[in-house]
Amino acid sequence: MNEHTCLELVCGQYDGLTPDGRQQRSDFKFFNQVMEQFSSMNFTDKKDKGHTLDNMVVECVYAGGKSHTDFKYFSNNYHGNCYTFNSATSWNENSSMRMSRKAGPRYGLSILFNVEQKEYVGQMSQSAGLRVVVHDPARMPFPEDEGILVAPNALTHIAVTMVNNFLLLIKTQKINGLYGNCRSTDQTDKNLTMYQKLYNVSYCEKGCLYTCLNDQIIQNCDCVDIKFPKPPTDKNSRTDLRPCSADNSTITACVDKIWRDYENENLPCSSDCTVPCSETLYKPVISREIWPSKNYLAQMAQTPNYLTLFNELNKSDSQDYGQFVVFLQDFSYTSIDESPAYEIMQFSSDIGGILGLYVGFSILTIVEFFELAADILGLICFHIYSSSKTSVKNWRREKKIRNCNRVLPFKKSQISLNEIYVSGEDDEDEEEMDPRGKPRTGSRASVLNRRDMTSVHI
């Protein structure tokens, strides 16, 4: 343990360096060889080599009533014979879609099964049980990628809740994918995928992706991948196609390269295959318990219909039987409706509002600029007017002064005489006062006469 890290030990189990790693590589190679042989078989041989419905389904009860005829067969390269209950492709005048009218295990689909382990191929089958896929009746199931493992010697309850996805059909038909692309299940082209051609199922994204991937392998590697069925024969299809051989290193390298390009989205598959516009999914909740109980096994021994089954179950080495029940957990379901978060009308309305706001701001700004220019012009004019008015006043004052300067001697003599007269009048008033402080009349008269004389002289 000191010489190797945990990561080295874990990785060593898968790279062929340890005995366990070599065994897994050997199992994988053997599995591919068997798959290659199985893919080369025709439809009839594939069905004959697999488990038949009569041997695999011991008892089928739906909503309390027996139902053994509502199964549709299809072949899968990984799991062999597969059967779909309540398939839309089997509905006709004599049979219609099965409806669940109540919730709970008593009103669901209950199947008692036999896995027939004695028919298993030793190295191919490392586990025993069934693969159960709960899907829409019109959709193609892919048990190699999805589903629930149901083990024998156990009762498995599969409670499902329905989820409806409704995408915008308008996205692809009316507004040219502005919100993304989806494909309508009601479109007239029913042959978009090889699964639609082979099994008459509805369009699904995974079926389209696998069809595109298989076409790329056929075009580049000249063979059919063992994961996929052979494409249906028509006037444009090839009939000489063989499964891709795992023993041919050139073909293996070619197929691996196509798969890497697919995983890295370097192929046109992702852009060509869009999601369906409406899709129904089922979300499962799984629970298990040991089946059958000892008391129930004792009761089966006394029931004629279960006598053979009891003998099989009572064998200590028999681990082939089991039971599973598929039912609706409740009648509530989740609906996911997609709608545009931002529609054209809302966008136009917002653009109009923003433009109106900006235009309003622009007009106000322009008006403010005009007002500012008018204020500046007014201030300039007022300054010019004030300067002009001051100049006029100064000019008038100077003119008045010049005019006054022309009569200045007369005014000066008058002012001087007046001053002299005033000062003289004061002197005379002082001189003409009598000792008692009263003015004398004669002096006043002389002053007046003097003023008159002065006035006459002037």
First to last CA, the chain: 147
E strands of 144-277, at which residues?
Answer: 148-150, 154-166, 182-183, 275-276
So what's the pLDDT on residue 41?
83
Question: What are the structure tokens assigned to 5, written together?
Answer: 């890290």
Please, what's the b/e burial string for 388-399 (b: 16 or more CB within 10 A of its CB; e: otherwise)? eeeeeeeeeeee
Sign of CA dihedral 419, 420, 421, 427: positive
Query: Is the per-residue pLDDT at 325 higher than 70?
Result: yes
Q: Are 244 and 228 in contact (CB under 8 A)?
A: no
So what's the pLDDT on residue 151?
94
CATH among 3.40.50.720, 2.40.30.20, 2.60.470.10, 3.30.465.10 for 57-119+127-337: 2.60.470.10
Average pLDDT rounded to a whole number, residues 21-39: 76
d(CA 33, CA 155): 34
pLDDT class for 232, splitting at 50, 70, 90? confident
Task: Dump the DSSP string for 291-318.
Answer: SS-HHHHHHHTT-GGGHHHHHHHTSTT-
Q: Are 124 and 110 in contact (CB under 8 A)?
A: no
Query: Is the per-residue pLDDT at 251 higher than 70?
Result: yes
d(CA 195, CA 135): 15
Query: Is the per-residue pLDDT at 93 higher than 80?
Result: no
So what's the pLDDT on residue 417?
44
So what's the pLDDT on residue 454?
39
Closest by alpha carbon to 177, among 301, 308, 274?
Answer: 274
Least confident range from 181-195, 200-214, 221-235: namely 181-195
pTM for the structure as a whole: 0.67
Least confident range from 54-58, 121-125, 404-408: namely 404-408
So what's the pLDDT on residue 450?
42
| Burial of 179: CB neighbours in 10 Å, binned 0-12, 13-18, 19+ | middle
**Residue of higher predicted confidence among 158 and 91:** 158
Task: Report helix angle 249-263 to 205-221, nearest 10.
Answer: 140
Q: pLDDT tens, 158-190?
A: 999 888 766 554 433 333 456 667 777 665 567
Query: Domain residue spans in the chain?
Result: 1-40, 57-119+127-337, 342-406, 411-458
Query: Is the per-residue pLDDT at 220 higher than 90?
Result: yes
Question: What are the structure tokens assigned to 262, written together?
Answer: 């697919």
C-alpha distance from residue 447 to each of 183, 191, 414, 425, 427 (Å):
133, 146, 18, 7, 10
**Residue of higher predicted confidence among 100 and 234:** 100
d(CA 124, CA 30): 8
Percent of the chain with pLDDT over 70: 72
d(CA 211, CA 250): 22
Q: pLDDT tens, 399-445?
A: 777 777 665 454 444 444 444 444 444 444 444 455 455 454 444 44
pLDDT class for 134, splitting at 50, 70, 90? very high
Q: pLDDT tens, 334-348?
A: 777 777 777 778 888
d(CA 130, CA 114): 9
Closest by alpha carbon to 114, among 61, 58, 50?
Answer: 58
Q: Are 333 and 164 in contact (CB under 8 A)?
A: yes
